[in-house]
Amino acid sequence: MERRKSAKKQTFFEKWFLNNRFSIILFNLLLFFLIIWVFNKISFVLNPAWVFISAILPPVVLAIVQYYIMNPVVDWLEKRWRVPRLLTIIVLFLLVVIALIWIINTIIPIVQGQVNALIKNWPHIWDDAVNATQNALRDPRLHSVRGNINHMIDNTQKTLFKSGQDTINATIGNISSAVSIITMIAMTLMTAPFILFFMLKDGRELRPYITKFAPQRWQESFSQLLYDINNALASYIRGQITVAFWVGVMFAVGYGIIKLPYGYALAILAGFLNLIPYFGTFIAFIPAIVIGIMTSVPMLIKVLVVFAIEQLIEGRVISPMVMGNKLEMHPITTILLLIGASAVWGLWGVVFGIPIYAILKIIVSRVYKYYRKASEVFDDEDEPTTEDGTSEQKTNS
């Protein structure tokens, strides 16, 4: 009853501005765009900071990915068998070095030979595919769609040719950029192991250290926020890499059984592209289809069977077991996010769009819950009342 009386005594300003959801939402949006406008006006001040972040970001990202893969092993051995973390880290580094040496001496020569042969023969394969398609279009039953398909083939050839020419011109005209990229890759590969070592060694102390900078009354909530973000990133990175690895293995085994030309190169390509949710595997499947068509009709059928078996195993066994729905993202949300992120940031948006979205989702969700708890806007609806209009909480007390 007291709450209703106080609601009646609210002034016009309190009713339509202070305690009105719509006004508060508009005010927050205004502040958000005002902040963006201010940052845009002082971009010259932020440019050095962005250059600094761009320089240290590649080794840090690479170290974070490796950290989420190795850290569970380090933690498990320390808790289960009391193995010192430093010893486990050194052993893991040695195993990684041995694995890299084995890959360089065994797998890379095979894949390199297939990749070189595929690049060399791809123009002939594409021409054969176009000729085979045009021969098939001579069938009188396809007369109605012949013009559309020929137009699509011509547009595809022009697009591929233009993209190739632009890439060659950009490469020739930006030799200094190529040198800087090579330097960045070398620096990343040299510095990432050191960052990874200290992350594995002292990573558990990072969250308490960051939490100290928050106000005392917010430290517990801030620590839980960091914990949730860490879990979301760990689940996504481990899941995506695990699924991509097994997708590459399944395609390698399948293409090896049916003896598809360039099968191992296509399998590795499928594994890497599987890091792009929903679209990656299908993009990698296009060259396999083209090569299957050019080889023979039975080979095309075998390629389709391999793809169907891989999709069945991945969709019914591997992805549910490894990924589940830990990020709680609807497939439509994921697809729209990938399309939008790729349009704005290109390949980097496709790779990092989902984890960034997951982090922002956790932060916004916690801020919204805090706002609901601290603001009076939601009190009238959220607090259950009895038949006489008094608060149920007050009645129970």
Does residue 189 belong to any structural domain of this protein?
yes
Does residue 3 belong to any structural domain of this protein?
no
Specify which residues 391 forms β-bridges with.
385
- pLDDT, average across residues 6-13: 62
Distance CA 279, CA 335 (A): 9
Does residue 128 belong to any structural domain of this protein?
yes
Task: Say which range, 34-38, 83-87, 393-397, has the weakest mean pLDDT.
Answer: 393-397
In this predicted structure, the answer to whether residue 291 has a pLDDT above a threshold of 80 is yes
Does residue 197 belong to any structural domain of this protein?
yes
Per-residue pLDDT tens digits for 239-272: 999 999 999 999 999 999 999 999 999 999 999 9
Does residue 99 belong to any structural domain of this protein?
yes
Give the domain range for residue 104: 49-138+151-202
Does residue 119 belong to any structural domain of this protein?
yes
Does residue 104 belong to any structural domain of this protein?
yes
CB 115 within 8 Å of CB 223: no
At residue 386 the predicted structure's pLDDT band, cuts being 50, 70 and 90, is very low
Does residue 271 belong to any structural domain of this protein?
no
Q: Which one is predicted more confidently, 224 or 323?
A: 224
If we measure between CA atoms, which residue out of 324, 159, 95 comes closest to residue 231?
A: 324
Looking at residue 79, its pLDDT comes to 92
Looking at residue 326, its pLDDT comes to 60
If we measure between CA atoms, which residue out of 218, 227, 225, 270 comes closest to residue 248?
A: 270
Q: Is 246 helix (H, G, I), strand (E, B) or coil?
A: helix
Distance CA 388, CA 386 (A): 6
First and final C-alpha spacing in the chain: 15
At residue 397 the predicted structure's pLDDT band, cuts being 50, 70 and 90, is very low
pTM for the structure as a whole: 0.79
- pLDDT, average across residues 117-121: 84
Q: How many C-beta neighbours within 10 Å does residue 137 have?
A: 15
Task: Say which range, 36-40, 65-69, 79-83, 88-92, has the weakest mean pLDDT.
Answer: 36-40
- Please compute Rg for the chain using Cα positions: 28
User: Residue 254 is which amino acid?
Assistant: G
Name the domain count of the chain: 1
Look up residue 28 and give its two tokens. Answer: 């927050």
User: Residue 94 is which amino acid?
Assistant: L
Range among 3-17, 150-164, 324-338 with highest mean pLDDT value? 324-338
In this predicted structure, the answer to whether residue 157 has a pLDDT above a threshold of 70 is no
Per-residue pLDDT tens digits for 200-226: 999 889 999 999 999 898 899 999 999
Residues in the chain: 397
- pLDDT, average across residues 321-336: 74
